[in-house]
Amino acid sequence: MRVVIIGAEGQLGSDLVRAFQGEDILPLSENDVDIVNINKLKEIITSASPDLVINTAAFSNVPQCERQPEKALRVNTIGARNVAIVTGEIKSLHLYISTDYVFDGEKEKPYLEDDSTAPVNTYGLSKLAGEYYVRYILDRYFIVRTSGLYGIHRCISKGTNFVDKMLELRNKDSINIVTDEVLTPTYTLHLAKQIYELVSTDYYGIYHVTNEGECSWYDFAKAIFCEVGFDVNLVPINSSKLQTNVKRPKYSVLENSKLKTLGLNNMPHWRDSLRAYLAEKGY
């Protein structure tokens, strides 16, 4: 299978390159092609003639998306539209990576793929609009919504990931962490392996793919320090105490419902994935 991976130097993209290593891969970074530029995109993808195009590229720094909404829409919406158009023209299969932030977080139970979307910030809105373009333009597509990513290649947009950030702060007297945002942190290598299995099927459509279980950012931080054996003073706080005007969903847990129905769900519990990640980092 010939596979184009867009965003290949990003956190998830680099693990997709690992998961698809037995295949004929063309990894593309922003230096190779800016997805906003449809002509260059068309030239590169058409000449590669892939069976599958995976688009992980995004402007995913949530506070920055709020400050630069035009850029968020340009990359996350128009960029997604461009990749879908080009993929459709060459009749390839497409996989678009989306987010838990398409939901408003008011449900208080894990979100299913068919639940109503209602993003509460610019990032979520720009990604949801990207999903709509993919659905409108293509017949053969996968949309994979995931959440709270961390991986060996740090998130380019954010400069780090939550696990590494906690480990960097371990010598602080205390660390304030929010208790009222609940999600499922997800290790990009395990997500990438699950995506590899999914694309070998023809069960197209929207999927939720995260690690299993759920936790608050506070629980996650506690688990990180427990796993590496550091004694750190974590102070539980409410998100209203954070000096930010960015709205985030309070509860954005995604149920891998369609994967489970199809008997395809191989995602480990978040705590097991955290252990695997820390082991890979040498802890």
Active site residues: 123
Stretch that binds ligand NAP, among 18-26, 55-63, 84-92, 217-225 (CB under 6 A): 55-63
Residue with smallest beta-carbon separation from ligand NAP: 10
Q: Which is nearer to ligand NAP, 257 or 263 (CB)?
A: 257
Selected binder of ligand NAP within 68, 117, 157, 179 (CB under 6 A):
157
List the one residue from 36, 85, 228, 237 that touches ligand NAP (CB under 6 A): 36
Among 4, 5, 57, 163, binds ligand NAP (CB under 6 A): 57
* Residues 231-260 close enough to bind ligand NAP by CB under 6 A: none
The 3-state DSSP class for residue 150 equals: strand
Q: Which residues pair with 29 in a beta bridge?
A: none
Give the count of beta carbons closer than 10 Å to the beta carbon of residue 173.
7
Which window, 6-14, 82-90, 163-171, 262-270, contacts ligand NAP (CB under 6 A)? 6-14
Residue 156 contacts ligand NAP per CB under 6 A: yes
* Least distance to ligand NAP, CB of residue 283, Å: 21
Element (H, E) at 271: helix 270-280
| Separation of alpha carbons 253 and 111, rounded Å | 6
What CA–CA distance (Å, rounded) separates 156 from 237?
27
Is there binding between residue 23 and ligand NAP (CB under 6 A)?
Answer: no
Distance CA 145, CA 191 (A): 11
| Least distance CB 61 / ligand NAP (angstroms) | 8
DSSP 88-116: HHTT-EEEEEEEGGGS-S-S-SPBPTTSP
Q: Does 56 bind ligand NAP (CB under 6 A)?
A: yes
- Select from 158, 145, 128, 122 the least CA-distant residue to 10: 158
**Sole window of 110-118, 147-155, 248-256, 267-275 interacting with ligand NAP (rule: CB under 6 A):** 147-155
Contact between residue 96 and residue 141 where contact means Cβ atoms under 8 Å apart: yes
Q: Candidates 33-41, 135-143, 196-204, 240-248 — which segment interacts with ligand NAP by CB under 6 A?
A: 33-41
32-46 as b/e, with b when 16 or more CB fall inside 10 Å?
A: ebebbebeebbebbe
- As given in the structure block, the two tokens for residue 5 are 């991976």
- Spatial distance between the Cα atoms of 275 and 227, rounded to a whole number of angstroms: 7
Q: How far is the CB of 6 from ligand NAP (least distance, A)?
A: 6
Using CB under 6 A as the binding rule, whether residue 147 contacts ligand NAP is answered as: yes
Footprint of ligand NAP (CB under 6 A): 6-7, 9-13, 29-31, 34-36, 56-60, 75, 79, 97, 99, 127, 146-149, 155-157
